[in-house]
């Protein structure tokens, strides 16, 4: 981290469009009917922990996790020409350059979360050894969904010089939000010490994408 330079907004930024994979097909994600609005936030903080026992994530709970963290509440083009969005997670410049990909235990491929349609789009990258490596961490991880945090470096570089520390901070903020939301809605969640850097380069020949970490999520085993 000592090699990271201070990020600085560019004097003459050149806006670019958001990266979106060319998926083969998509499916809509579910949501919980209610996300326990009566539970005080302090209770969530006190109970939060990294849980390492998983059963398959219920579609409603998993969909609720992604919706509460990432669904775009509004978007507009700012004065510099960038599309900025309001979501529940924080982001440098409101660019939201951290993409969410996931692999479910019953699916052979990775999926990309579309925050505008609350849907999952299949990406060309097969499940590969990355998902298997993630599930090797704990005994019950074979039933867990693997979440992969991937940064669009080209997007953040279009607005900032020396942007690398920004995407690392953004990825950490997203994982923290996932941890708290998972606690609130009854999911088991645990971030992992691998990033998937090499595999992220396989997602696109046109954009510079970087793996920023992985996590496991699933329903809790009491």
* pLDDT digits 0-9 by tens, 77-124: 998 899 999 999 999 999 999 999 999 998 888 999 999 999 999 998
**CA dist 126 → 93, 108, 123, 221 (Å):** 32, 7, 8, 28
Q: How many CA atoms lie within 13 A of 219 on its CB side?
A: 8
Distance, in Å, from the CA atom of 46 to the CA atom of 32, rounded to the nearest integer, reads 23
* pLDDT digits 0-9 by tens, 153-207: 999 999 999 999 999 999 999 999 999 999 999 999 999 999 999 899 889 989 9
Q: Mean pLDDT check: name the lowest of 69-73, 144-148, 151-155, 156-160.
A: 69-73
The CATH number assigned to the domain with range 58-220 reads 3.40.109.10
Mean pLDDT over residues 207-218, rounded? 96
Confidence (pLDDT) at 39 = 81
Confidence (pLDDT) at 34 = 63
Instruction: Tell me which residue has tokens 């350059």.
Output: 97
Put simply, whether the predicted model's pTM sits higher than 0.85 gets the answer yes
Q: How confident is the model at residue 65 (pLDDT cuts 50, 70, 90)?
A: very high
Q: Mean pLDDT check: name the lowest of 26-30, 73-77, 136-140.
A: 136-140
Other residues' Cβ atoms within 10 Å of the Cβ of residue 199: 22
State percent of the chain over pLDDT 70: 96
């Amino acid at each position: 981290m000592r090699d990271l330079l201070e990020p600085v907004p560019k004097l003459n930024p050149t806006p670019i469009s958001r990266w979106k994979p060319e998926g083969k097909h998509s499916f809509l994600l579910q949501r919980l009917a209610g996300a326990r609005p009566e539970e005080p936030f302090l209770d969530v903080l006190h109970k939060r922990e990294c849980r390492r026992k998983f059963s398959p994530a219920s579609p409603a709970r998993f969909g609720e996790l992604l919706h509460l963290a990432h669904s775009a509440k509004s978007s507009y083009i700012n004065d510099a020409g960038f599309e900025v969005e309001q979501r529940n997670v924080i982001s440098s410049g409101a660019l939201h350059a951290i993409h969410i990909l996931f692999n479910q235990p019953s699916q052979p491929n990775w999926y990309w979360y579309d925050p505008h349609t609350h849907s999952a789009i299949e990406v060309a990258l097969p499940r590969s050894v990355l998902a298997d490596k993630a599930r090797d961490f704990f005994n019950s991880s074979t039933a867990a969904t693997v979440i992969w945090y991937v940064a669009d470096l080209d997007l953040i570089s279009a607005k900032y010089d020396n942007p690398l520390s920004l995407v690392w901070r953004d990825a950490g903020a997203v994982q923290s939000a996932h941890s708290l939301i998972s606690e609130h809605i009854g999911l088991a969640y645990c971030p992992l010490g691998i990033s998937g850097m090499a595999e992220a380069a396989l997602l696109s020949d046109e954009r510079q994408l970087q793996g920023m970490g992985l996590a496991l999520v699933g329903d809790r085993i009491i």
